[in-house]
Structure formats: structure tokens, C-alpha cells
């Protein structure tokens, strides 16, 4: 059983709570939507699942219905006692904390593989996905609900309108795709934009060899002046000889290069 809009409104009123804009809280209040998310996550009984921003536990309950072993993370101390009362009877473990600074090794324990499923607050979605890709290798798959524009950036390919530095960084670690859309009407309060469901599958090994910090430096320099040709935007970080040696056009622009090309430029040492 999951929570309806009426259930969430009743819980808010009963406990004197309100969605906190500072935390980007938009609660999912549609049972069909949370069950759809659980289906798209392709969970099986016994899978280890971590949810970030569990709120009142509507999505949490849908995840538990699959038979998965669910750990729910919530940063709002005022919500945590209520969340525990809703989801712990379903066998869910609740962790209070900020996902951006959490001890993920401690949360994930010794299990080799986890799935992250979450309705991520719009204001932290991008840094959170990148941080988890960088620091939590035991999270092998993600299904995240984010602002539609953010979702398009996470999953964009060269030439797409949303393609940018974040797209390249995600593609270094994983394969990402938008797998669904969600309208504002299923949230409380209603956001002003649509949301996207993004599937992110971690690669067995990163897409390119070489130093990751160097790759990020080069990618961010290129997209920092994305309207310029690469020979200009990368003049301070890449030797001009690298273009000829790597076969990459110096008059190309950042949005034309895929992860392989960025990797070659970053790895070139002369």
C-alpha cells in the first residue's frame, strides 16, 4: 500500500508539517507513479535498494512491495519520526542524514551491489548523481526522478541541446538514458516544470583511461567557453600539438566531442 494525495495532506495537517522549499521538497502523491518507478527500476526480491529523499515514504513503500531490501535516507529531521512510523513496519531501514555528506561506506555496508532509486530534490540532483558516481562504486544502477531539463543534461549525447560538461562526466562513469516523463500533477506541492526519469547504469570500467581529475579540468575548460573553437577554449590547458596527434579538429566546439575524444585530449602528454 502506498500513499495518496489525501494521505499526505492528512499527515501534514496532523503533524503540523509543510513542504520545505529550502530542501526542494516536492512529495510524490500518486500511487500509480511510484509503482511505475519501482517497475522501471527492474527490482527483484532481495535486491539492495537505497532511496534518497524518502519524505513520507510513498515511493519507499512501492519499492518495498517488490521484495527488495530497502534503505531510505532522509535529511529532514522533522520528517524522520513520521517516515519511520510509515515504512519501518514494511521492513525498511531509515537513515537520517544529508546524502551529499553521508558516510556511504557505512550506509551500504558489505553488500557488493546496490540500486539507487530516488525522487531527487531539484537543487541537489546534479551534484548528488556525480558525487555518487565518483565515490560510491557499489551503487551499480540508478533510477532518478529529476527536473526534465536536468534529466536531459545527464543523458545527453554530442550534438544534443542539453549536452554539456555534466553529460561527459556521467558518460565517463555510466550509460544514461531518459526512460520516462512525469507531470507536475503527481507532486505536492506542484512544481512548475515536468520531471524526467533517468536510468544510469555504471560501466564495469570507466569509458576512457587516464587521470579523471585531468579529464574534468579539460572538459570544464572546453564547456566554460563552449561557443569558442577548442583551440581557443582549451589554450590554457591543452598543448596545441595535441589536436593533430589525437586527430581532433582544433576548430571543433565542445558539444561535438564524445567521451572518447575528451579522453584522448586529456591523456595526451606530448
- Please write the tens of the pLDDT for every residue from 217-253: 999 999 998 889 999 999 999 999 999 999 999 999 9
SS (H, E, C) 110-132: CCCCEEEEEECCCCCHHHHHHHH
Helix (H, G, I), strand (E, B) or coil at 35: helix
Please give the Cα distance from 162 to 156 (Å, whole number): 6
User: Within a 10 A sphere around the Cβ of 213, how many other Cβ atoms?
Assistant: 9
158/53 same-domain check = yes
62/165 same-domain check = yes
Q: List the 93-96 sheet strands across, edge first.
A: 93-96, 69-74, 48-52, 114-119, 139-147, 195-202, 174-182
Residue 58 lies in domain: 5-202
Sign of the C-alpha dihedral computed for residues 112, 118, 124 and 125 taken in this order: positive
Please give the Cα distance from 30 to 190 (Å, whole number): 12
Give domain status of residue 165, yes or no.
yes
Q: Is the pLDDT of residue 270 over 70?
A: no
pLDDT at position 188: 87
- The residue out of 154, 183, 202 marking a domain boundary is 202
Q: What is the pLDDT of residues 101-158, one digit of tens each?
A: 999 999 999 889 999 999 998 889 999 999 999 999 999 999 999 999 999 999 999 9
Q: Which residues contact 219 (CB under 8 A, 6 or more apart)?
A: 165, 168, 169, 254, 262, 266
Give domain status of residue 207, yes or no.
no
pLDDT at position 191: 87
- The residue out of 202, 222, 251 marking a domain boundary is 202
- Say how many domains are in the chain: 2
Mean pLDDT of the chain: 93
134/189 same-domain check = yes
Q: What is the pLDDT of residues 156-209, one digit of tens each?
A: 999 999 999 999 999 999 999 999 999 999 998 888 899 999 999 999 999 998
- The residue out of 202, 232, 248 marking a domain boundary is 202
Please give the Cα distance from 193 to 134 (Å, whole number): 28
The proportion of the chain whose per-residue pLDDT surpasses 90, expressed as a percent, equals: 81
pLDDT at position 37: 97
Give the CATH number for residue 245. Answer: 1.10.8.100
Give domain status of residue 62, yes or no.
yes
108/177 same-domain check = yes
Helix (H, G, I), strand (E, B) or coil at 54: coil
Give domain status of residue 127, yes or no.
yes
Give domain status of residue 98, yes or no.
yes
Q: What is the pLDDT of residues 61-98, one digit of tens each?
A: 999 999 999 999 999 998 999 999 999 999 999 999 99
Amino acid at each position: 500500500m502506498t500513499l495518496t494525495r489525501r494521505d499526505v495532506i492528512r499527515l501534514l495537517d496532523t503533524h503540523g508539517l509543510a513542504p520545505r522549499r529550502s530542501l526542494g521538497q516536492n512529495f510524490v502523491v500518486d500511487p500509480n507513479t511510484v509503482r511505475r518507478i519501482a517497475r522501471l527500476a527492474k527490482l527483484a526480491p532481495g535486491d539492495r535498494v537505497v532511496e534518497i529523499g524518502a519524505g513520507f515514504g510513498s515511493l519507499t513503500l512501492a519499492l518495498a512491495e517488490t521484495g527488495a531490501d530497502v534503505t531510505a535516507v532522509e535529511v529532514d529531521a522533522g520528517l524522520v519520526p513520521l517516515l519511520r512510523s510509515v515504512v519501518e513496519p514494511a521492513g525498511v531501514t531509515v537513515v537520517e542524514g544529508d546524502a551529499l555528506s553521508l558516510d556511504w561506506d557505512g550506509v551500504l555496508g558489505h553488500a557488493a551491489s546496490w540500486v539507487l532509486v530516488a525522487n531527487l530534490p531539484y537543487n541537489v540532483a546534479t551534484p548528488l548523481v556525480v558525487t555518487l558516481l565518483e565515490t560510491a562504486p557499489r551503487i551499480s544502477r540508478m533510477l532518478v526522478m529529476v527536473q526534465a531539463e536536468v534529466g536531459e543534461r545527464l543523458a545527453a549525447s554530442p550534438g544534443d541541446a542539453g549536452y554539456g560538461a555534466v553529460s561527459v562526466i556521467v558518460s565517463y562513469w555510466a550509460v544514461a538514458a531518459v526512460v520516462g516523463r512525469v507531470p507536475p500533477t503527481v507532486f505536492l506541492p506542484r512544481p512548475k516544470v515536468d520531471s524526467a526519469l533517468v536510468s544510469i547504469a555504471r560501466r564495469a570500467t570507466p569509458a576512457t583511461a587516464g587521470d579523471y581529475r585531468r579529464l574534468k579540468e579539460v572538459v570544464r575548460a572546453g564547456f566554460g567557453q563552449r561557443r569558442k573553437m577548442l583551440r581557443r577554449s582549451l589554450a590554457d590547458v591543452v598543448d596545441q600539438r595535441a589536436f593533430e596527434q589525437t586527430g581532433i579538429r582544433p576548430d571543433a566546439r565542445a558539444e561535438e566531442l564524445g567521451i572518447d575524444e575528451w579522453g584522448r585530449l586529456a591523456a595526451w602528454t606530448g
